[in-house]
A = this chain, B = another copy of it.
Amino acid sequence: MGGGNRFQEPLRISRRRQVRKEKEEVEVNESFKSPNLEAERRRREKLHGRLMALRSHVPIVTNMTKASIVEDAITYIRELQKEVVNLTEKLHEMEEVPLELHEQQMDQIIKHEHETIDLKEEMKNLWIEESVQLCKIGERKLWLKITTEKKPGIFTKFMEVMRFMGLQIIDITLTTSFGATLICSSVQILQGLCDGDSVDLEQTKEFLLEAMRSNP
């Protein structure tokens, strides 16, 4: 009993399968059958099937052994988990950090901060308050942001002020939405506006505020 195929002649079916057979002989020889013989057989086949299915889901399989299949599955799961974590991090960085990153970069770049900026805090009442913010982001470079009411000709007025102050636009973004206007821009200082102190920045800010407030 036990020990599987002790009473069968050596038969070699292709690639070692179904070593069973001659069950009747065994029964005849010993006239004994375990009650859970078939159930056990089903159980084995089930586990075998599951293992094959697992193998089919793992891209790289070093060995066909059962242990190897499970091992490779483990390493594959760990790789997948790592990848998911990496991708999630990347996605989070891309979709929510722009503002924070901007802040951080700004914090590193800005040498003389003209006005404290908290973009996150400010987002709450971004479209409500009329404001002009200037930051010196280089020897002869400024970054500015303006939020104001949406009025026709307000952008032209902005350009006039820029021209008058001798500020050349490096890049600019203007967005109008819900009756409000947002302008972000980096500008190059063409003529001696910045002579070391920040008084001229204050002046520029006042000019811009005045221009934004005045009706066309």
Contact = CB atoms under 8 A, between A and B. Distances in A.
A168 B51 CA distance: 67
Contact of A53 (B74, B95, B162, B175): B74
Interface in A158-216: 159, 162-163, 168-176, 190
B170 A159 contact: no
Give the interface residue-count category, chain A. Answer: 35 or more
A127 interface: no
Interface in A85-108: 87-88, 90-91, 94-95
A4 B40 CA distance: 14
Main SS at interface, chain A = helix
- How many identical chains are in the complex? 2
Nearest to A46: B67
A61 interface: no
Interface stretch (A75-83, A115-123, A130-138): A75-83
A110 interface: no
A167 to B, nearest CB: 11
B70 A54 contact: yes
Interface of A: 1-4, 6, 43, 46-47, 50-51, 53-54, 57-58, 66-67, 70-71, 73-74, 76-78, 80-81, 83-84, 87-88, 90-91, 94-95, 152-153, 155-156, 159, 162-163, 168-176, 190
